[in-house]
A = this chain, B = another copy of it.
Amino acid sequence: MSLSLAAAQTITTAALAEARARKAKPLAVIVLDAGGHPVAFAREDGASLFRHDIARAKAMGALGMGDDTRVLAERAKGNAAFFQSVSVVVGGNIAFSPGGVLIREAGTIIGAVGISGDTGECDELCAFAGLKAAGLDPENSK
């Protein structure tokens, strides 16, 4: 089980289609493989310059800690000192906001998607739409 470029592009395209349907701000979407290496990336016209790095930090943070960034953001609120130190330990490869979502196939983590540009909640919904389009719906794959 691994994450193909074709699946990663399906996720990216569907996530951005969801963003346009929601009239979201311009987004950046990245898909990483299970080892945290980039497979596909797209930044919409008008997205600001940090969106790539934040999207990647969301996806990598989810992979690195083994949980979606929605969960990590909640945990960080209750244990700020630890999670701030983790942020430095991993060289900034983590961002505490929803929108970093693990990709599972038959229960195994095969990658992660990270989205940045609108609210964390909107970013995450676009990620879910991307996964669903690729048949990797997080609700069905755990």
Interface residues in chain A, defined as those with a beta carbon under 8 Å from any beta carbon in chain B: 2, 4-5, 8-9, 30, 33-45, 48-50, 52-54, 57, 63-66, 73, 76-77, 79-97, 120
Contacts and interface: CB of A to CB of B under 8 A. Distances in A.
Given A5-B43, A42-B40, A45-B5, A81 B52 contact: no
B80 A83 contact: no
Contacts of A86: 50, 54, 95
Counting every copy of the chain, the complex holds: 4
A48 B64 contact: yes
A52 B37 contact: yes
A68 B17 CA distance: 29
Given A85-B96, A87-B88, A94-B85, A38 B64 contact: no
A95 B66 contact: no
A49 B76 contact: no
B53 A90 contact: yes
B82 A65 contact: no
B35 A49 contact: yes
A85 B76 CA distance: 10
